[in-house]
Amino acid sequence: MTKKYEFPTQFFWGASTSATQSEGTEKGDGKGQNIWDYASQHYNHRFYDGVTTEHTSHFYKDYQQDIQLMADIDFNSFRTSISWSRLIPDGVGEVNQEAVIFYNQVIDELIAKKIEPFINLYHFDMPMKLQEIGGFENRDVIAAYKKYAETCFALFGDRVKYWFTFNEPMIPAEAGYLHDRHYPYVVDFKRAATVLHHIILAHCEAVKSFRQLELDSKIGIIMDVIPVYPRSQNPADLKAAEMADLFYTRSINEPILLGHYPAELKPILTAYHQMPAILENDLDLIASTEIDLLGINYYKPRRVKALDYEPNKAGIFSPEWFFDNYEMPGRRMNTSRGIEIYPQGIYDIAMTIKEKYGNIDWFVSENGIGIQGEEAFIENDRVEDDYRIDFLKEHLVWLHQAIADGSNCLGYHMWTFVDCWSWINAYKNRYGFYRLDLETGKKTVKKSGLWFKSVSQNNGFD
């Protein structure tokens, strides 16, 4: 029977997570520390309720059961990441054989359950040994990442058909080196720009290595193409929006998707002495790298207005010298997370990809709603999360419209499969299709999980 909102055949339905947020550690697993293991122990006060990475949803131990739970609600695809510091504990040396066994089992189990594995190589989780030499600020780490990527392709490339180099490549630079949210908690624009440039080069190197293998699979990257909306059509607001877009979106999207940095960036960074070192062949490498598939994480729009006050330019250089964030009156909020909900944004992103980025194949790689205090919605042992179903529906309706208008969208992954540990917020906000009981570890499907199952089964909804 046709559905009112029917999606293209072989549409990917599933969810995403990351290694650090789901695996946990077990005695004797041979995993090396990454920056999150380190930061959640040594800067424990920065994490909600002081929960460390040891207390995640135990995918390392429970992967078989978890994959069965995914199959129970009809996922046909699932994204997770490989933990670099699990596979190569010091980031560059010996491969940890326990990790090889684990990831082989995960991949095989997913395939056996007819769930396509989407494998990402880097989700914010620099091995601590490499962070000690500067992480992505140090050019040598590009070569270490390339070697790590090649190791993954060699070990798992025979079965993994969808690879991704990075999740949200802007975030390690912006949150770790400019806005004091992620370790190493540096606040320095030029260092952030250096990290971003090196991440882009690492992405290019991994894609280059991948191409040489001529595998029958695709490679891409997971990004945010955050739509920017000006407060008004006043030229000052429009200029502010242009600057926010330039710094936070185009500076990463254009090198990855168009093969060059936006021309406007260099004169500004040079004038303010913030230009990172770019070596002779870097721009050629960027220009010659193409991806096959783009993942887009969409949570919120960015609303912008002209500055209320002149910034103090004696302070640390910041993109916020050129615009203010705008709190639109009447905006619809997810108050748990403190972000605006704007389903139409997904349509606007699709049209930007279509018009500006060659209508490349893409999929929604994350979208979801984190809610604090979800236990208040438990009835008869089930979270009755109608608000999540409404959220999903509204976004899917806009996505459906985008596809009707010619967007090459291949799938939709919700964040996330089971309530997971989150950077900074730990377990404050729950996002999963399954509820995780932190005391017992029990995972129970929510109403939204059952709704999603029917959507996947019917490839759409009414």
Given 116, 168, 205, 374, the catalytic residue: 168
Residue 97 CB, nearest distance to ligand BGP (Å)? 28
Among 250, 337, 430, 443, binds ligand BGP (CB under 6 A): 337
H-helix or E-strand spanning residue 454: helix 447-458
Residue 344 CB, nearest distance to ligand BGP (Å)? 20
H-helix or E-strand spanning residue 281: none
Q: Which is nearer to ligand BGP, 48 or 272 (CB)?
A: 48
Q: Which is nearer to ligand BGP, 67 or 171 (CB)?
A: 171
Residue 299 CB, nearest distance to ligand BGP (Å)? 6
Indicate whether 122 belongs to the interface with ligand BGP (CB under 6 A): no
Distance separating alpha carbons of residues 221 and 167, to the nearest angstrom: 7
| Segments of 179-289 assigned E as strands | 218-223, 228-230
Site string for ligand BGP, 129-158 (x = CB under 6 A): ------------------------------
User: Which of positions 152-191 make contact with ligand BGP (CB under 6 A)?
Assistant: 167-168
Given 23, 109, 366, 374, the catalytic residue: 366
147, 93 Cβ separation under 8 angstroms: no
Nearest to 296 by CA among 387, 390, 402, 211: 402
Residue 131 CB, nearest distance to ligand BGP (Å)? 18
Site string for ligand BGP, 284-323 (x = CB under 6 A): -------------x--------------------------
Indicate whether 18 belongs to the interface with ligand BGP (CB under 6 A): yes
Q: How many CB atoms lie within 10 A of CB 400?
A: 22
Q: What is the DSSP letter of 101?
A: H
Q: Which is nearer to ligand BGP, 274 or 416 (CB)?
A: 416
Q: Which is nearer to ligand BGP, 245 or 366 (CB)?
A: 366
Q: Report the sign of the C-alpha dihedral through residues 52, 56, 58, 63, in that order.
A: negative
Residue 279 CB, nearest distance to ligand BGP (Å)? 30
Indicate whether 336 belongs to the interface with ligand BGP (CB under 6 A): no
> Is 375 marked active-site?
no
DSSP, collapsed to helix, strand or coil, labels residue 230 as strand
281 HSE (CA, 13 A, CB side): 6
Residue 168 CB, nearest distance to ligand BGP (Å)? 5
Q: Report the sign of the C-alpha dihedral through residues 262, 266, 268, 272, in that order.
A: positive
Give yes or no for a cis peptide into 416 (omega within 30° of 0).
Answer: yes
Q: Which is nearer to ligand BGP, 286 or 426 (CB)?
A: 426
Q: Which residue has the tokens 């131990």?
A: 61
Q: Which is nearer to ligand BGP, 166 or 317 (CB)?
A: 166
Q: What is the DSSP letter of 374?
A: G
> Both tokens of residue 279?
């070596």
Q: Which residue has the tokens 């339905």?
A: 13
Number of residues near ligand BGP (by CB under 6 A): 13
Give yes or no for a cis peptide into 184 (omega within 30° of 0).
Answer: yes
Q: How many CB atoms lie within 10 A of CB 79?
A: 29
SS3 content of the chain, % helix, strand, coil (to 5): 45, 15, 40
User: Which of positions 414-453 make contact with ligand BGP (CB under 6 A)?
Assistant: 415, 422-423, 425, 429
> Is 264 marked active-site?
no
Q: Which residue has the tokens 């989700």?
A: 123
* Chain centroid, CA 405 distance in Å: 26
Name the closest residue to ligand BGP (Cβ).
422
Q: Which is nearer to ligand BGP, 56 or 274 (CB)?
A: 56
Q: Which is nearer to ligand BGP, 425 or 444 (CB)?
A: 425
Residue 426 CB, nearest distance to ligand BGP (Å)? 9
User: Which of positions 21-50 make contact with ligand BGP (CB under 6 A)?
Assistant: 21
> Both tokens of residue 26?
């077990």
User: Which of positions 364-383 make contact with ligand BGP (CB under 6 A)?
Assistant: 366, 370
Q: Which residues are catalytic?
A: 168, 366
List interacting residues with ligand BGP (CB under 6 A). 18, 21, 167-168, 297, 337, 366, 370, 415, 422-423, 425, 429
